Amino acid sequence: MAQILSNRQAEELHKSIIAYLAANKFPNSAAALRAELQLGKDVLDAATTKKYETLLEKKWTSVVRLQKKIMDLESRNAALQSELDNLTPAALSKRNKDPASWLPKAPPRYTFESHRNTINCVAFHPVFSSVASGSDDYTIKIWDWEFGELERTIKGHTRAVLDLDFGGPRGNVLLVSCSSDLTIKLWDPSEDYKNIRTLPGHDHSVSAVRFIPSSANLLVSASRDHTLKIWDVNTGFCLHTLQGHTGWVRDVSPSYDGRFLLSTGDDMTARLWDMSVTKPEVKATMFGHENVNECCALAPPTSYQYFAPLAGMKRPPSLESPAEFMATGSRDKTIRLWNSRGTCLRTLVGHDNWVTALVFHPGGKYLLSVSDDKTLRCWDLSQDGKCVRVIQDAHERFITCLKWAPGIPRIATGENSGALGESNGTPNGKPAAGPGASDVQVRCVIATGGVDFKLRIFAN
């Protein structure tokens, strides 16, 4: 038999085997091998044996890790090859130019580092190239995602910052934040992010906050106290308290016209609220997840054409209908797609850990998700919800949040572009996700944050 190892490598292996046998209480076997190899105490003394006793196990586990890495790389290579094989030169050119077909890919354009603890939330300014991040370090940071720079750090909360959103009255874009300190705070970007109002009222951590589009002065918050609250930004008064959930309400998503809210949380349900009536009420309740729900998202009307076949419909619903379909993500590792009557249309399986955030592609064809499995996944609604892209190790640890940069109305490209009031990038009166979507310029930029203290920007 031809010798594969060099003499030095063979000697290292022999010493490692003897040291391993001795350390694991096989003295007779160790002595027999030592005698057969003629390794006396002068060559392999007690100190040398101690040095080698864990080497064999380390080498073994390294081989297992390398094998897994090779398998992952082979799988990723096969997926990339399949994607490449399905693209003609014409299709590739169109895909690179068409924002409706753009999907994020590694590596990120920027990785921002300055927070000293987990990043829980991100929010894009509706017009400018600013993105805000909130963290367990109690601070909010404002970054320029176009130039890759930290602009400022905002302090004011006394506990973890759990969610952020841009929006507010027309002509005056505000930043809103919520925290484990039980408060909601409003910040004015035009005054160097001065804190202009603090809204107390929840009895526990405030986990999510959103400006309600088209309302100009309303926002909704979700809390661990099992409620949602509707607030008037101008007065700071709570107008409604919505009760129905039986556990922590972790996320809320308003429809593009503000007529509906989708909420979800620890009671493993999602609830669709009708806000168009005097006293807001639950229109539908979604049951089906087998663990805590972490996130939810209402589908934009641009996605209706792709949802219709999933729902068994011959024709998609009217684009004027604001809340026909939705998605929820859960600690049961799945994503569920629903219609407005509470029927589960599909269950998307692929993540290996909690699903922590969802966002629909502005073009409507894709749903993006992130998870504690450190991946970002893209699901194609036109292919029955098939996972068509996976960005492995998008972060080094759990991924907590995901946002798509809001589109810019084509009318907002001149001098008055900063004068639009928007909610999470949705201009009041002409929502990016609604019937006026063709009047919006899609920005192919997404942001993710994680437990690794990092904010990452993926861009075309």
Look up residue 7 and give its amino acid. N
Summarize the chain as % helix, strand, coil (round to 5). 25, 40, 40
Q: Are strands 218-223 and 206-211 parallel, antiparallel or unpaired?
A: antiparallel
Give residue-wise pLDDT tens across range 191-206: 999 999 999 999 999 9
Residue 28, exposed/middle/buried by CB under 10 A (0-12, 13-18, 19+)? exposed
DSSP conformation letters of 206-252: EEEEEE-TTSSSEEEEEETTSEEEEEETTT--EEEEEE--SS-EEEE
- Angle among Cα 163, 402, 413 to the nearest 5 degrees reads 90
CA atoms of 361 and 259, how far apart (whole Å): 21
- With a pLDDT cut of 90, the percent of the chain lying above it is 66
Strand ranges (E), 42-113:
110-113
Higher-confidence position of 60 and 127: 127
Under 8 Å between Cβ of 273 and 263: yes
Under 8 Å between Cβ of 344 and 337: yes
Q: Is the pLDDT of residue 417 over 50?
A: no
Could you count the other beta carbons within 10 Å of the beta carbon of residue 217? 16
Look up residue 191 and give its amino acid. E
Q: Is the pLDDT of residue 453 over 60?
A: yes
β partners of residue 278 = none
Query: Which of 46-50, 138-142, 337-341, 401-405 shows the lowest per-residue confidence on average (mean pLDDT)?
Result: 46-50
Give residue-wise pLDDT tens across range 328-363: 999 999 999 999 999 999 999 999 999 999 999 999
pLDDT for the residue 424? 52
- Average pLDDT over every residue of 100-129: 95
CA atoms of 392 and 105, how far apart (whole Å): 10
CA atoms of 102 and 234, how far apart (whole Å): 38
Nearest alpha-carbon partner for 209 in 233, 184, 181, 189: 184
Give residue-wise pLDDT tens across range 10-60: 888 888 888 888 888 888 888 888 888 887 777 777 777 777 777 777 777
Give residue-wise pLDDT tens across range 54-103: 777 777 777 777 787 788 777 778 777 776 766 666 555 555 567 888 99
Q: Is the pLDDT of residue 436 over 60?
A: no
CA atoms of 37 and 449, how far apart (whole Å): 56
Q: Give the burial string for 391-401 (b: 16+ CB within 10 Å, else e).
A: beebbeebbbb
DSSP conformation letters of 304-329: HHHHHHHTT-SSPPPTT-S-SEEEEE
**Residues near 208 by beta carbon (within 8 Å), at least 6 away in sequence:** 162, 163, 178, 221, 222, 249, 250, 251, 252
Query: Which of 64-73, 123-132, 398-407 shows the lowest per-residue confidence on average (mean pLDDT)?
Result: 64-73
Could you count the other beta carbons within 10 Å of the beta carbon of residue 207? 24
| Cis ω for the linkage preceding 406 (within 30 of 0) | no
pTM of the model: 0.76
Query: Which of 6-15, 244-253, 307-316 shows the lowest per-residue confidence on average (mean pLDDT)?
Result: 6-15
pLDDT for the residue 418? 39
CA atoms of 46 and 428, how far apart (whole Å): 77
**pLDDT interval class at 395 (50, 70, 90):** very high
**pLDDT interval class at 129 (50, 70, 90):** very high
CA atoms of 89 and 96, how far apart (whole Å): 11
**pLDDT interval class at 410 (50, 70, 90):** low
Nearest alpha-carbon partner for 404 in 136, 92, 100: 100
Torsion, Cα of 223, 225, 229, 231 (10° steps): -80
Could you count the other beta carbons within 10 Å of the beta carbon of residue 304? 21
pLDDT for the residue 420? 42
- Average pLDDT over every residue of 362-378: 97
pLDDT for the residue 8? 78
pLDDT for the residue 324? 96
Query: Which of 154-168, 288-302, 401-415 shows the lowest per-residue confidence on average (mean pLDDT)?
Result: 401-415
